[in-house]
Chain A
Amino acid sequence: MNNRNNNNQEKAETPLSLAWREFKKNKLAVLGLVIVILVALSAIFAPVITPYDPAQTNILKTEEPPSAEHWLGTDKVGRDIYTRLIYGGRVSIMVGLISMIISVSIGTVMGLLAGYFGGLVDTIIARLIDIFRSIPFLIIAITIASIWGPGLYRLMVIIGVLSWTGVARLVRGKVFSLREREFIQAARASGGNDLWIMFKHLLPNSMAPIIVNATLRVAYSIISEAGLTFLGLGVQPPTASWGSMLKSAQSIHVLGSMPWYWIPPGVMVLITVMGINFVGDGLRDSLDPRQYE
């Protein structure tokens, strides 16, 4: 962030505080930030918020409706649904963040390589991006998950590896526009090698689109996790996740008579993803208004 030195008209303010001032003007973005912080805090402090253990079964108290003791009732093996909802947030946030780190890392490196070297390297990477973008994500994710076997960590890798193209395209475009600028020529003239120029000069100057896209990636990964888990190819029982709780609504009994079981995790996914989208939108406007369109 501190290397974004392309605008010099601001003297007293750092680019970061300038961005924050812009960000604060956007009410939805601030609301989104508050939502994201609340969800994150509830996931982090899950053991403090709820007295129950998410895996603790109780055969004597199964499928109970909401009560003062169990705020959202209990599931079919007597686990506290509210507790599983809070702990489920940990899984969703973890999948969101780790998948994002994977996809943004791959995408950034690909974008830097394509944009910096151009020519054949760029042609190959651009073709690769085209191919990845034309494959329906879920269909390939399902195929990989079925062959490799489902599971939390595999899920993160699958989502991450299949969704790097957005970042790659943005970084590639940005690097193309930066490549011939004076400061890059200066870096090259003073003997900087390719790697140094890419990671010390081009990368910091491409941070704005990367940050915006990384934010939206988290949201997208959370939805993907829920979807793949809903299909049975993601997080496996007994781990609680919002997707696995929604999966239980595939049974018509749960769907029809226990709405308190499956509606809360759906709403949690919705508000978390919406909060992140608000933040992403706010970042887009505040980091670099002319970056997009």
Chain B
Amino acid sequence: MTQYIVRRFLQAIPVVLIVSFLIFILINMAPGDPLARLQNPGISKEDIQQRYEQLGLNDPVLVRYGRWLGDFVQGDLGYSMGSSHKPVSEMIGERIVPTLYLTLGSLLLSIIVAIPIGIISATRQYSIFDYIATIGAFVGVSVPNFFFGLLLLFIFSLKFPIFPSGGFTKAVGVNNFWTHLHHAILPILTLGLARVASMTRYMRSSMLEVIKEDYIRTARAKGLSERVVIYKHALRNALIPVITLIGLSIPMIFSGAVITEQVFSWPGMGKLLISSVWKRNYTVMMGIDVIMCVLVYVGNFAADVLYVVVDPRIRYD
């Protein structure tokens, strides 16, 4: 098991390298000159040229990437190109917790809601419940998440002010678990809806497959109660493809988080990315892109480990 985990982890390294290199090249293609603000009659061409040399901007792109990578593995993502000149790692550090709160929250929501609905839909196929759940799932995967977010904001924050309209913390007073949750409910619902919907459909079809199997008939023939058959024998097998889906949907959750954070002024990495895009703050963009990809990898990795735990047929070696 440990060996499997280590190997799986090592496999991720080349992918992160390639992805970060591609993003590096992409961002290097950006128009503009980092020293453009120095261009004025008071500074000689030679001085500017020297400054380029000092900053290593004349080096080939591979050399500069190598330097970036060397800093990256030491946890240094460079400095913001904005007026603050804060270290990028520090800026991301401030934003990562709200983003993880939002993404993990909606993942948790989708698991808690979708699995029971999927089970009931499958065990009562073609019932009213199944019909409503199926239509609901279609609506859920078709609604753009920011539109759903705007609707929630409109109804529950403007018309009936039950929830705050944005942010992760109260401006005044003590912030505890409940105030964070109070702020997070609408964003988590927004980001979670599509996940709930697609996971419900997956859970339903997976459960329908499983309950047709011979071992389920055997379990019933043994005289086990329907409850034990479904929740003990069928569920565990039906969960396997759902875990695959969780792994596959992690990139989409991060994508969705960017828009959701924008709708709810959520102080996460997505909002920071959008604001740095407008300020052409390339070091921050680079840092966020790479960290997001790393987070996706960590998520996929967790799903893989979970997969092995649920499915004992998978061998670790």
Contacts and interface: CB of A to CB of B under 8 A. Distances in A.
Contacts of A139: 254-255, 258, 270, 273, 288-289, 292
Interface string A220-261: 000100110011110000000000001001101001100100
A41 interface: no
B258 A142 contact: yes
Interface in A236-293: 246, 249-250, 252, 255-256, 259, 262-263, 266, 269-271, 273-274, 277-278, 293
A231 B147 contact: no
Interface in A154-184: none
A269 B147 contact: yes
B141 A138 contact: no
B142 A142 contact: no
A233 to B, nearest CB: 7
Interface string B253-268: 0111011001100000
Contact of A233 (B143, B151, B277, B280): B277
Interface string A124-152: 00000011011111111011101100000
Contacts of B31: 147
A176 to B, nearest CB: 20
Contacts of B165: 252
Contacts of B144: 223, 226-227, 230, 246, 266, 269-270, 273
A219 interface: yes
A136 B255 contact: yes
Contact of B143 (A130, A131, A249, A270): A270
Contacts of A271: 142
Given A144-B26, A262-B150, A270-B147, A134 B142 contact: no
Given A142-B277, A144-B26, A274-B138, A135 B19 contact: yes
A49 B256 CA distance: 35
A140 B289 contact: yes
Contacts of B168: none
Contacts of B215: none
Nearest to B269: A139
Interface string B261-293: 011000000100110011010000100110011
Contacts of B248: 133
Contacts of B259: 138, 227, 230-231
Contact of B293 (A135, A226, A250, A293): A135
Interface string B1-42: 000000000000001001100010011011100000000000
Tell me whether chain A's interface is mostly helix, strand or loop, or mixed. Answer: helix
Contact of B251 (A135, A259, A262): A135
Interface in B150-177: 150-151, 153-154, 158, 165
A272 B20 CA distance: 36
Report, as a range, how many residues of chain B touch the other chain: 35 or more
B255 A246 contact: no
A277 B135 CA distance: 11
Contact of B141 (A232, A250, A255, A277): A277
B255 A143 contact: no
B237 interface: no
A170 to B, nearest CB: 14
Given A137-B252, A146-B277, A231 B29 contact: no
A84 to B, nearest CB: 16
B240 to A, nearest CB: 13
A251 B212 CA distance: 52
Nearest to B259: A227
Contact of B300 (A134, A219, A232, A252): A134
A274 B134 CA distance: 12
A137 B251 contact: yes
A87 B185 CA distance: 35
B251 A136 contact: yes
B102 interface: no
Contacts of A256: 154, 158
Nearest to A281: B138
Interface string B214-254: 00000000000000000000000000000000001001101
Given A143-B289, A223-B144, A262-B150, A137 B15 contact: no
Nearest to B277: A146
Nearest to A243: B144
B274 A231 contact: yes
Contacts of A269: 143-144, 147
B296 interface: yes
Residue of B30, B147, B151, B270 with most chain A CB atoms under a 10 A cut-off: B147
Contacts of A246: 144, 146-147, 150
B292 A136 contact: yes
A134 B292 contact: no
B123 interface: no
Contacts of B251: 133-137
Top 6 closest pairs, chain A to chain B, by CB: A138-B255, A266-B147, A274-B142, A136-B254, A146-B277, A273-B142
14 contacts: A28-B138, A135-B251, A138-B255, A139-B254, A139-B289, A146-B277, A147-B26, A147-B29, A230-B144, A246-B146, A255-B154, A256-B154, A270-B139, A273-B143
Interface of A: 28, 130-131, 133-140, 142-144, 146-147, 219, 223, 226-227, 230-233, 246, 249-250, 252, 255-256, 259, 262-263, 266, 269-271, 273-274, 277-278, 293
Given A134-B297, A270-B144, A270-B147, 4 more contacts: A134-B293, A219-B142, A252-B158, A293-B205
